[in-house]
């Protein structure tokens, strides 16, 4: 009992009653104030455009006009009967699913390779990140040349090797254009996923791995029964990122094919740009852009719950 007041006197002498409290002392003000710039930034650059897009999707707004005519769900109902929209929606889902499956297979494989000890491992890890770090516009320009229908370096190489009897018109045929787009998506996304999986692997307790080895579990048994279950939360996060990035990506498709040939490779983002900005049909463009939002929201919630459950389970 007696030590309390003594300690108070020694460690924290009471401030004089006239002491002026400045902003730096008032955390209830300082905290929000320090957060404000980031908050304003997000509200102005994400929140406002987002709300504006929702409002536009219920209007017949056109570029070159600031008039706002409420049309209810007309833009959405019109889209539901638009074959080009159906195709774009299908492409968005197809590109997303196929690329994510490939990304995860490649990422888990690469993570296991990079987890092993070998000479030059650090260099390989750094190089692996290059596709992720490279500006997408720059990278896509390189891929445009790699897959150019007339001058494709892939074609020329295959020709020289005697492996290509005809010619592959990468961007001129919908199937090949799809392959090209998915290739670039995978190339971009898999380094990021690899890094995440690598981080997850380093978090797996060494004794569990060693116990599996001692118990005589082979590589695939360890992979499917030890590593992957324990990696599930982190893999889910990587997939979630990948899904969101791929489903909302505009630049890869636009820079590679601009939605061609004959609108066959449009995704929702590029169709929205074509209809809303180039075609001056802002209302319809906004409706296209927002169409996937509920789907992505549900996917995100489900995946985060899965990840949480897996985490709790571990």
Partner 1 sequence: MHDRTSRTRGAGDPNHREGVKLGMDESRKAAGAGAAQAEDVRISRREFIRKAAVATAALGMPYFYVPKYSLAQQRTLRILTWSHFVPAFDEWFDPFAQRWGRERGVQVTVDHVSFADIVPRANAEVAAQQGHDLFFFLSPPSAFEPHVLDLRDINQEAERRYGPMVPLVRKSVYNPNSRKFYGFSDNWVPDPGDYLKSVWTAVGYPNGPATWDDLIKAGNEIKRRFPEIQIPIGIGFSQDIDSNMATRAILWSFGASIQDANENVVLNSEQTIRAVEYGVRLFRECMNPAVLSWNAASNNQALNARQTAYILNSISAYRTAQDNRLPVADDIWFVPALRGPGGRWASEHVMGVWVIWRFARSPDLAKEFLLHLVDNYRDAVLASKLYNFPSFMGSVADRRVPVAEKPDAGRRWMRAAVIRDPFGSNPPDKLRVLADAEQWSTNIGHPGPANPAEGEIFDTYLIPDMFAQAATGRLSVREAVQQTHRRCVEIFRKWRQQGLVGGGRDR
- Determine whether 310 is exposed, middle or buried from the number of CB atoms within 10 Å of its CB (0-12, 13-18, 19+): middle
Output the smallest distance, CB 176 to partner 1, in A: 9
Q: Fill in the per-residue mask, 249 to 278: x = in contact with partner 1 (CB under 8 A), - = not in contact.
A: --------xxxxxxx---------xxx-xx
- 72 lines the binding site for partner 1 (CB under 8 A): no
- 143 lines the binding site for partner 1 (CB under 8 A): no
Judged by CB, which is closer to partner 1: 12, or 163?
A: 12
Judged by CB, which is closer to partner 1: 185, or 266?
A: 266
Site for partner 1 in 157-176 (CB under 8 A): 167, 169-173
Total of residues contacting partner 1 (CB under 8 A)? 45
CA distances from residue 167 to 134, 158, 159, 160, 214 in whole angstroms, order as listed? 30, 10, 9, 12, 53
In angstroms, the CA 17 to CA 21 distance is: 10
In angstroms, the CA 234 to CA 196 distance is: 7
Output the smallest distance, CB 160 to partner 1, in A: 15
**Angle subtended at Cα 28 by Cα 27 and Cα 33, rounded to the nearest 5 degrees:** 80
Beta strands in the chain (DSSP E): none
Compute the CA torsion angle 27, 37, 244, 233 (nearest 10 deg). Answer: -20
The 3-state DSSP class for residue 59 equals: strand
- 15 lines the binding site for partner 1 (CB under 8 A): yes
Q: Which two tokens stand for residue 243?
A: 């899904």
- 81 lines the binding site for partner 1 (CB under 8 A): no
In angstroms, the CA 165 to CA 67 distance is: 57
Judged by CB, which is closer to partner 1: 59, or 236?
A: 59
Q: Are 275 and 281 in contact (CB under 8 A)?
A: yes
Other residues' Cβ atoms within 10 Å of the Cβ of residue 286: 23
Output the smallest distance, CB 158 to partner 1, in A: 15
- 66 lines the binding site for partner 1 (CB under 8 A): yes
Judged by CB, which is closer to partner 1: 278, or 297?
A: 278
Judged by CB, which is closer to partner 1: 2, or 22?
A: 22
Q: Which of 150, 157, 202, 314 binds partner 1 (CB under 8 A)?
A: 150
Judged by CB, which is closer to partner 1: 23, or 38?
A: 23
Q: Which of 63, 113, 228, 300 binds partner 1 (CB under 8 A)?
A: 63
- 149 lines the binding site for partner 1 (CB under 8 A): yes
Of the candidates 126, 108, 289, the residue with the CA atom closest to the CA atom of residue 194: 108
Output the smallest distance, CB 171 to partner 1, in A: 3
Q: Which two tokens stand for residue 39?
A: 């908050």
Judged by CB, which is closer to partner 1: 11, or 116?
A: 11
- 125 lines the binding site for partner 1 (CB under 8 A): no
DSSP 279: S
* Residues making contact with partner 1 (CB under 8 A): 11-13, 15-16, 19-25, 27, 30, 60, 62-66, 149-151, 167, 169-173, 177, 257-263, 273-275, 277-281
């Amino acid at each position: 009992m007696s030590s309390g007041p003594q300690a108070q006197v020694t460690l924290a002498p009471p401030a004089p009653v006239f002491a002026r409290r400045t902003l730096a002392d008032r955390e209830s003000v300082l905290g929000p104030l320090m957060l404000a710039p980031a908050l304003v930034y997000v509200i102005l650059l994400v929140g406002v455009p987002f709300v504006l897009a929702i409002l536009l999707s219920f209007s017949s707004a056109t570029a070159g006009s600031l008039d706002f005519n409420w049309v209810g769900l007309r833009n959405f109902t019109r889209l539901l009967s638009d074959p080009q929209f159906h195709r774009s929606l299908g492409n968005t889902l197809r590109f997303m699913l196929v690329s994510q499956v490939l990304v995860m297979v490649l990422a888990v494989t690469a993570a296991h390779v990079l987890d092993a000890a070998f000479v030059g491992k650090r260099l390989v890890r750094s190089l692996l990140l290059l596709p992720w770090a490279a500006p997408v516009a720059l990278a896509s320009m390189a891929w445009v040349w790699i897959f150019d229908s007339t001058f494709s370096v892939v074609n020329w190489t295959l020709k020289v090797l005697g492996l290509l009897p005809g010619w592959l018109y990468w961007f001129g045929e919908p199937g090949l254009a799809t392959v090209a787009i998915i290739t670039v998506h995978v190339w971009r996304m898999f380094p990021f996923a690899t890094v995440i999986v690598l981080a997850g692997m380093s978090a797996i307790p060494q004794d569990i791995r060693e116990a599996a080895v001692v118990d005589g579990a082979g590589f695939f048994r360890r992979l499917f029964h030890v590593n992957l279950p324990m990696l599930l939360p982190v893999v889910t996060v990587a997939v979630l990122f990948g899904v969101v990035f791929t489903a909302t990506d505009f630049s890869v498709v636009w820079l590679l094919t601009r939605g061609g040939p004959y609108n066959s490779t449009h995704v929702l983002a590029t169709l929205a740009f074509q209809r809303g900005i180039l075609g001056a049909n802002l209302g319809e463009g906004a409706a296209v852009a927002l169409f996937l939002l509920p789907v992505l929201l549900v996917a995100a919630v489900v995946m985060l719950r899965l990840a949480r459950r897996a985490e709790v389970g571990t």
